[in-house]
Amino acid sequence: MKGWMIALATVSLAGCETSAVWYHSHPEKQVIAIDGREVSVVPRGGNQWDAWGGDDGTKTNAAALKARQIKAIEQASSCKVSAAEYSPSGPLLQAVVICPSASR
């Protein structure tokens, strides 16, 4: 019975936009190497992008990690990040970009 409930919860969350499964399986997800570290980036529609990863497995300086993630979003979107904050629920950087008129 317990296994069945876990399976149901997993299937239910698989399509949720805020689930880990959604982020990791997103068809537009890009993995960008910044400073030799992989940062995953996903467009959220309009001028919003999310990024995660990019740490080095140790206690990465928070400012350096955020800068790495912003740089990855800018490379993936071909736009400039105008605002970026971490999600209250986890290590997910949520950003707003400003794009030149000829870009995305």
Burial of 73-104, coded b for 16+ CB within 10 Å and e otherwise, reads: bbebbebebeebeeeeeeebbbbbbeeeeeee
Q: What is the pLDDT at residue 72? A: 98
Q: What is the pLDDT at residue 71? A: 98
Range of the domain at 68: 2-98
| Residue at 92 is within a domain | yes
Q: What is the pLDDT at residue 10? A: 40
| Residue at 45 is within a domain | yes
| Residue at 103 is within a domain | no
Query: What is the block-wise mean pLDDT of the chain (104 residues), using blocks of 10 residues?
Result: 44 46 74 94 93 84 92 97 91 94 57
Q: What is the pLDDT at residue 83? A: 97
| Residue at 7 is within a domain | yes
Q: What is the pLDDT at residue 6? A: 44
- How many structural domains comprise the chain? 1
| Residue at 104 is within a domain | no
